[in-house]
Chains A and B, each alone.
Chain A
Amino acid sequence: MIITVTLNPAIDKIYWVDRLRIEEEAQEEFLTRAVRSQTSAGGKGINISIFLARLGVENVAMGFVGGHTGHVVVRDLRDEGVTTNFVWVEGETRTNVTILERGREFIPIMVSEEGQAVSPVEMERFMRRYKRIVRRADWVILAGSLPPGVEPDTYRVLAAQAQAAGAKVAVMAGGTPLARVLAAGPDIVKPDTREHLVLENTHLSTRERIIAVGRKVVEHGVGMVVISHEVVGDLVITKDGGWDIESRVPATRFKNLVGADDALIGGIVYKLHSGAPLEEALRFGMAAGIASAESEEKLCNDVDEISHEMERITLTPLGGKDAGK
């Protein structure tokens, strides 16, 4: 069984507009009409749950939900065939807004709410549920930001419990929660670099720095680090080496980047869970991410499309020139 944990889920509201007029010193109000909009359950772990369910993988989505938007999240997940196991909290599940301007979809404008606060009692309720179910898990995916009130150490605690129960752990996070979880030595780490470009006190600005930091993290016990280094490329670092994964698709072809990273990690875990070798899992994950980015929909689950995309992906082992950097 695969468990996804999204402690700070969201409703993803996506607007497509023909032209987004943003003027620094606007003198009067103006209206931008959306040519299309879409509302769906969101948050990194939730996107992964939906991705996996569409591929026929039984999985359980956990986290906190509240209010009307919380019901929308739960309903969407159930409609997708995901098993839900959420703790209800006071307040309202947040809404994240993305605006995609025609021709510039590869540079989305994103506004994320902080999320509803979680009390110690509500956290305790979650921990009891988590302990109950984690012993049945093969994989646990801890993904996304933490809501107000949740300790930054939480991912480390959850990862350690999952490992003690014999499950493998993947983490998609940024900032302090990511820095703390490294101590637990998860199997896969995907830093969220949208807000926090620093890991292990190093700015992840260049390929060389990413590789150096990745190696440092792996030396501390993390199984594999996947770091986006360009829109169409990721660097993967393991204790045995690593790969430069690149797609030949130009970023200008991307229509919707929301969910692409989640499809990447969902794809990798999907393949590893089914017993595929690591290189195949990486290729499939990257292809799923690229196919999702090329699709107007948040997630692409068309296996034919992903297979087609796999042919355009190159995996170059890190070696030679990267050694010692």
Chain B
Amino acid sequence: MRVSEIMTKDLTAVEKDISVRELIFILNSADISVMPIVDDDGVLIGIISEKDLIKAALPGYFEMLHSTSFIPDLNQFSTKLAKIARDPIERYMKRDVVSIAVDDDDLQAADLLIRKNLRSLPVIDKEGRLAGVVRRIDLLRNLL
């Protein structure tokens, strides 16, 4: 099957200049964890996830720790998150996006989702514009 036959036909995407606060609202409302970012023509230019936001709000030394037991509470995280809430998301987005084309086959989509350990994969048309998204559940639903 082609990717266009199994993908979720949803064009939910944001622009790179929206704030972190806006993005959190949209992620929560739409119940998604990864958001495609597009330009004025709808061309996919990046991606941002909950994980990217958490990483941005964590204290700088966090990655050096082997355990969170040294951290007394989430106050520092909360303070940093409040500090970046008005920042444009382009500061934290990933520009090297793994995507798949509408005419590719489902095996390629499965390969990318599994090997790259992705929750979802943006689907683009011939012009590079967002056309939908393939989630792990889309594969399972269509292959059963």
Binding site for B on A (CB under 8 A): 60, 66, 70-71, 74, 78, 81-86, 88-89, 128-129, 131-133, 136
In the bound complex, do residue B10 and residue A88 qualify as a contact, i.e. CB atoms below 8 Å apart?
Answer: no
Binding site for A on B (CB under 8 A): 8-12, 15, 25-26, 29-31, 38, 40-42, 132
Among B8, B11, B26, the residue within 8 A (CB) of A88 is: B26
Among A71, A81, A84, A89, the residue within 8 A (CB) of B11 is: A84
In the bound complex, do residue B9 and residue A78 qualify as a contact, i.e. CB atoms below 8 Å apart?
Answer: yes
Among A71, A78, A129, A136, the residue within 8 A (CB) of B10 is: A78
21 contacts between A and B (CB under 8 A): A66-B29, A70-B29, A71-B31, A78-B8, A78-B10, A82-B9, A83-B9, A83-B10, A83-B11, A84-B9, A84-B10, A88-B29, A88-B30, A89-B29, A129-B11, A131-B40, A132-B40, A132-B41, A132-B42, A133-B11, A133-B42
Closest A-chain residue to B26, C-beta based?
Answer: A88
Interface SS majority for chain A: mixed
The interface residues of chain B lying within 8 Å CB-to-CB of A78 are: 8-10
The interface residues of chain A lying within 8 Å CB-to-CB of B29 are: 66, 70, 88-89
Q: For residue A32, give the distance in angstroms from its CB to the closest CB of chain B.
A: 35
Q: For residue B43, give the distance in angstroms from its CB to the closest CB of chain A.
A: 10
The interface residues of chain A lying within 8 Å CB-to-CB of B8 are: 78
The interface residues of chain B lying within 8 Å CB-to-CB of A60 are: 11
Closest 7 CB pairs of A and B: A88-B29, A83-B9, A85-B11, A132-B42, A84-B10, A88-B30, A88-B26
Measured CA separation A82–B9 after assembly (Å): 7
In the bound complex, do residue A83 and residue B40 qualify as a contact, i.e. CB atoms below 8 Å apart?
Answer: no
The interface residues of chain A lying within 8 Å CB-to-CB of B10 are: 74, 78, 83-85
In the bound complex, do residue A128 and residue B15 qualify as a contact, i.e. CB atoms below 8 Å apart?
Answer: yes
Given contacts A83-B9, A133-B42, 17 further A-B contacts (CB under 8 A): A60-B11, A78-B9, A81-B9, A82-B9, A83-B132, A84-B9, A84-B10, A84-B11, A84-B12, A85-B10, A85-B11, A85-B12, A86-B12, A89-B29, A131-B40, A132-B41, A132-B42
Measured CA separation A83–B8 after assembly (Å): 8
The interface residues of chain A lying within 8 Å CB-to-CB of B40 are: 131-132
Closest B-chain residue to A88, C-beta based?
Answer: B29
The interface residues of chain A lying within 8 Å CB-to-CB of B15 are: 128
Q: For residue A207, give the distance in angstroms from its CB to the closest CB of chain B.
A: 43
The interface residues of chain A lying within 8 Å CB-to-CB of B12 are: 84-86
Closest B-chain residue to A132, C-beta based?
Answer: B42
Closest A-chain residue to B8, C-beta based?
Answer: A78
Closest B-chain residue to A58, C-beta based?
Answer: B9
Measured CA separation A74–B26 after assembly (Å): 14
Closest B-chain residue to A89, C-beta based?
Answer: B29
Q: For residue A11, give the distance in angstroms from its CB to the closest CB of chain B.
A: 17
Q: For residue B23, give the distance in angstroms from its CB to the closest CB of chain A.
A: 11
Closest B-chain residue to A86, C-beta based?
Answer: B12
The interface residues of chain A lying within 8 Å CB-to-CB of B9 are: 78, 81-84
Closest B-chain residue to A59, C-beta based?
Answer: B9
Measured CA separation A70–B29 after assembly (Å): 9
Most chain B beta-carbon contacts within 10 A, residue among A81, A128, A129, A132: A132
Measured CA separation A84–B31 after assembly (Å): 14
Measured CA separation A77–B42 after assembly (Å): 21
Q: For residue A134, give the distance in angstroms from its CB to the closest CB of chain B.
A: 11
The interface residues of chain B lying within 8 Å CB-to-CB of A81 are: 9
Measured CA separation A131–B38 after assembly (Å): 13
Measured CA separation A62–B4 after assembly (Å): 20
Measured CA separation A84–B133 after assembly (Å): 11
Measured CA separation A164–B26 after assembly (Å): 30
Q: For residue B127, give the distance in angstroms from its CB to the closest CB of chain A.
A: 10
Q: For residue A162, give the distance in angstroms from its CB to the closest CB of chain B.
A: 16
Closest A-chain residue to B13, C-beta based?
Answer: A129
The interface residues of chain A lying within 8 Å CB-to-CB of B31 are: 71
Q: For residue B77, give the distance in angstroms from its CB to the closest CB of chain A.
A: 25
Q: For residue A80, give the distance in angstroms from its CB to the closest CB of chain B.
A: 10
Q: For residue A45, give the distance in angstroms from its CB to the closest CB of chain B.
A: 16
Q: For residue B137, give the distance in angstroms from its CB to the closest CB of chain A.
A: 12
Q: For residue A272, give the distance in angstroms from its CB to the closest CB of chain B.
A: 24
Closest B-chain residue to A135, C-beta based?
Answer: B41
Measured CA separation A89–B22 after assembly (Å): 11
